Amino acid sequence: MANLKGFRLLSFDVYGTLIDYETGILSSFQPLLDANGHPDISRLQLLEAYHEFEVQQQQETPDMPYTQLLASIYGRVAEKLGLTPPTAEESRVFGSSVGNWPAFPDTVAALRRLAKRYRLVVLSNIDRSSFSLTNSGPLESFPFDLVITAQDVGTYKPNHRNFEYMLKAVKEKFGVDKDQVMQTAQSQFHDHHPSRALGIKSTWIVRPGAIMGNREREIYDWKFDTLEDMADALDAELITP
């Protein structure tokens, strides 16, 4: 397929692509930073430490719900950054912060436009309850056609099992084959590299300035800075004879 309009289904990463989870994480860390007297820790330092421990924990405990995983790594990130260890309650609150992470400004409007052409599916490294909070809040109860979480699969992306689970589900529910699926995501690490390995086409939503999930080797079939840009490109294709 040589164009966007040839696909039938978009499989979305959520946190990093639809939700500005880097801003959400930084905001959720702010109380601990405040308690430590506003130490001189950069956005890059904090997010790289977070990403390191998040990926490590996902590999060690692939069946751990994301809220618990967040709580479990909070103290480890704090220790690496030289901060006072958080209390168990502070870790719990951090783990429960996902529903407060904001959507990117273009997300909901772009999803509504894309839904006119495609089935829209969630494939996210999240637990069901946290996604429910995100969807009912920042995503304004957007009606996705199917939601698949890491909790459903029992592993976290970039594990190929998550993508294979999604492909099987969309074939059974919608009759959509792999060559009609577009993985739509920001993270090279979590989404684009495994998609290419499995022969799934992908669109890279860059979200300029994003730190986590980047890789030196950039893999994608289409590339847009924002989801709105992708919707604009689709509209341009649809009006072209």
Active site (annotated) includes residue 177: no
Between CA 178 and CA 167 the distance in angstroms is: 6
CB-neighbour burial class of residue 44 (10 A; exposed 0-12, middle 13-18, buried 19+) = exposed
Which of 13, 20, 127, 191 is catalytic? The answer is 13
Three-state SS letters, 161-212: HHHHHHHHHHHHHHCCCHHHEEEEECCHHHHHHHHHHHCCEEEEECCCCCCC
Which tokens hold the place of 93? Answer: 């609150």
Between CA 122 and CA 189 the distance in angstroms is: 17
If we measure between CA atoms, which residue out of 149, 108, 112, 99 comes closest to residue 128?
Answer: 149
Q: What amino acid positions are annotated as catalytic residues?
A: 13
